Amino acid sequence: MTSAKAQVYEGFARIGKALSNPSRLELLDVLAQGERSVEELAAATGMRTSNTSAQLKELTRAGLAVSRRSGTRVRYRLADPRVAVLVEDAKRLAHARLPDVRQAARDWLGDPAALEPVTRDELAARLADGVVVLDVRPPAEYAGGHIPGALNIPADRLADRLTELPHGTDIVAYCRGRFCLMSLDAVRLLRARGHRARPLDGGIPEWRAAGHPTTVPAP
């Protein structure tokens, strides 16, 4: 028998292995937005379906994703909201510790200041006087704790549900953190439709870390 200790560490390593490949990380990013079929995931990431399927199998083996059959397709989703949090934390660390990642991120996303993010303190001060706060994460993560009073419209439903949002009032959108692009996309969409929208600087973890209140403690 291989020692139980070795088995435990091998199991831990399975999680790391799942996060050790750019394609899989991209899949996780898409899955973090909601359930998707293999085909949709392949389209979103530009991979072949056979490869997408193989990588999804790895993610499943590592306990990060689960699937269910729905008619002729198989739909995958994150096994646990904590998966999205872990991935986001890893990204945050990479951004903080690896200068070349920081540089490449700037090249890819442009200057984040272009969308005029709202600082956390500014939002905290304005929470009382009726600014609309929009949480674009999937419901499971919203349920795990959100900014008090925030409205939850997941990023992939936003286009359908624009009528729920007011015109003429400031809308502040947020999601998981600095590398969660959903809030930036949301702001762009909202502006294109004539809303007054700005992203929050950082996501829920940064908000919490600054000592601001959320509805429920972290899981």
- SS3 assignment, position 163: helix
**Using an 8 Å Cβ cutoff, are 203 and 177 in contact?**
yes
Which C-beta is closer to a copy of itself: that of 69 or that of 97? 97
Q: Is 45 among the residues that bind DNA (CB under 7 A)?
A: no
What's the angle, vertex CA 171, arms to CA 211 and CA 109, rounded to 5? 80
**Among 23, 63, 89, 162, which residue interacts with DNA (rule: CB under 7 A)?**
23
Q: Is 175 a catalytic residue?
A: yes
Catalytic residue among 31, 147, 175, 186: 175
Compute the Cα dihedral for 195, 199, 203, 209 and give only its sign: negative
Query: Among residue numbers 13 through 32, which ones bind a copy of itself (CB under 8 A)?
Result: 13-22, 25-26
Q: Is 183 among the residues that bind DNA (CB under 7 A)?
A: no
Contact string 97-126 vs a copy of itself (x = CB under 8 A):
xx-xx--xx-xx------------------
Q: How far apart are CA 85 and CA 9, in angstroms?
A: 21
- SS3 assignment, position 105: helix
- SS3 assignment, position 84: helix
Which C-beta is closer to a copy of itself: that of 134 or that of 144? 144
Q: How far apart are CA 48 and CA 21, in angstroms?
A: 16
Q: Is 10 among the residues that bind DNA (CB under 7 A)?
A: no
Please give the positions annotated as active site. Answer: 175
Instruction: Name the residues that contact DNA, by CB under 7 A.
Output: 17, 20-24, 37-39, 47-51, 53-58, 67, 69, 71-75
